[in-house]
Amino acid sequence: MKLDVPRLPRRVALKIGAGLLLDAAAAAAFVSLRAHADEGRVIPVEARRFKYTPSEIRLKKGETVTLAFTAIDFVHGFSAPDFGVRSDLLPGRITNVTITAKAPGRYTFLCDNFCGDHHEDMNGTFIVE
């Protein structure tokens, strides 16, 4: 007995395949947008000997933000002890650090990679309101 398996014409099969791929791409884009939205607004911060710009960053209580660091002249560090985060900031790339401002107050962040004579002056403040 011959099994009669229906076969889709090749062009239709290709179209269905492409459609599934597009759906997968759309779903992936949606997921990455969602992930991005959860990381809050993006605040660009430049790190160079011996300062961060901006050095004062205002946040709202409960706000989650992503700090997008660009190191200009050295592998600076970023350490925010009150937020339990630190990162190396490599020149030539953007380093993203996401933090959540839990309680109002002033919190210091600082460079924790020795970067020269005024390294200890390289710091900044989060002001959470």
Could you list the residues that contact Cu ion (CB under 5 A)? 76, 111, 115, 122
Nearer to Cu ion, 50 or 83 (CB): 50
Closest separation in Å from C-beta 45 to Cu ion: 12
97 within 8 A of 66, measured Cβ to Cβ: yes
Looking at residue 86, its amino acid is: R
CB of 122 to Cu ion, least distance (A): 4
**Amino acid at the residue 28:** A
Please report how close the Cβ of residue 110 comes to Cu ion at its closest, in angstroms: 9
Distances (CA, A) of 106 to 56, 79, 103: 10, 15, 9
Q: How far is the CB of 90 from Cu ion (least distance, A)?
A: 12
| SS3 of 29-94 | HHHHHHHHHHCCEEEEEEEECCEEECCEEEECCCCEEEEEEEECCCCEEEEEHHHCEEEEECECCE
| Residue among 65 and 76 whose Cβ is closer to Cu ion | 76
